Amino acid sequence: MTATPIALGPNHTPLLEQAITEGGGELAELDRARALVWDGDPAAFPDRLPAGIEWVQLFSAGVEEWFDTSVFDRHPDVVFTSAAGAFARSVAEHTLMLLLAGVRQLPAHLAARSWRSRDELAPRIGTLRGATVAVVGAGGIGRELIGMLAPLGARVIAVNRSGAPIDQPGVVDTIPAHRLSEIWSRIDHVVVAAPATTETRHLVGKAELAQLRPTSWVINIARGSLVDTDALVQALRDGTIGGAGLDVTDPEPLPDGHPLWELPNAMVTPHDSNPAQLRGIAFADHVTENVARFVQGRELLARIDVAAGY
């Protein structure tokens, strides 16, 4: 059986070359390939693809920047897939770290410079056991996180696009995205893991924050645009919510002197929930699986829905 010709660009790394061959592909020049694995950004993407290209695998999980170009418009007959789900475990671990750190008041402990009475922080220290956590965007990352929350005794309200029930331990309800307004008064904490689109901009704003509890933590590991930064800063200052853990911000990078750096109930990590040393290996595994699916004529993982915007 002849191996399926797959092109790789713009970089040729041994890890991705091996991933392609392990999936049943054969490295080939672009003009004779049936598919392209692209580990670069939109700016370097070819203006035109050869007519023989049927599928393109992109490196990023979030593809909103690709919609700012005409790449999809120029190639309407090509199937594009993202890396959505490939980095789920690493990001979910980081998410759980932020949520647990907030609930257990780790920022206050780290800021301390002297021994304090055990009772001083006690009223603010919580637990995930019995807490209701909304996972807004229950895709690959969300599902991995749900699997980590369940053993800790958390109750999860999952929010996805369709509202199709998620059959995982710990999930007590699944809500379709268009009914998101129903969850805020029901939950203790919220994790934002939804894709960034025009519809999801400021998904969490002043009205949503006002319905949360003074002990609620807001965790955002998706994109900064999903949370209204000004509204969040005000809620943190006023004690409307307990705190925020952010691996993404708006603006990003977060400039020096921004209030989020100074607020004691805000934790900011520099978009490193998926560090480079883990990202490359995870993407290679994703490529191997998708190449195998392409070779075998099976459904590809993380197919981009151009109409939906992700």
Confidence of residue 2 (pLDDT cuts 50, 70, 90): confident
Mean pLDDT, range 182-202, rounded to an integer: 96
**pLDDT tens, position by position, 268-286:** 999 999 998 899 999 999 9
Mean pLDDT, range 218-234, rounded to an integer: 98
**pLDDT tens, position by position, 230-262:** 999 999 999 999 999 999 999 999 999 999 999
Rounded CA-CA distance 231/296 in Å is 49
Q: Identify the CA nearest to 184 among candidates 154, 212, 214, 216.
A: 212
User: What is the maximal distance between C-alpha atoms in the chain?
Assistant: 72
Look up tokens 């020096």; give the residue.
256
Catalytic residues: 223, 252, 271
Rounded CA-CA distance 301/294 in Å is 10
Rounded CA-CA distance 249/260 in Å is 9
210 burial type by CB count under 10 A (0-12 exposed, 13-18 middle, 19+ buried) = middle
Report the share of the chain in percent with pLDDT over 90.
89
**pLDDT tens, position by position, 17-57:** 999 999 999 999 999 999 999 999 999 999 999 999 999 99
Rounded CA-CA distance 79/151 in Å is 38
Domains contained in the chain, CATH given? 4-86+276-296 (3.40.50.720), 88-268 (3.40.50.720)
Bridge partners of 81?
A: 57, 303
Task: Determine the pLDDT at residue 76.
Answer: 94
Q: Identify the CA nearest to 164 among candidates 144, 183, 139, 189.
A: 139
Look up tokens 């053993």; give the residue.
151
Rounded CA-CA distance 306/310 in Å is 6
Confidence of residue 1 (pLDDT cuts 50, 70, 90): low
Helices (H), 44-176: 71-74, 88-103, 106-111, 118-121, 140-149
Confidence of residue 144 (pLDDT cuts 50, 70, 90): very high
**pLDDT tens, position by position, 154-176:** 999 999 999 999 999 999 999 99
Task: Determine the pLDDT at residue 136.
Answer: 98
Q: State the average pLDDT for the chain.
A: 95
Rounded CA-CA distance 123/115 in Å is 17
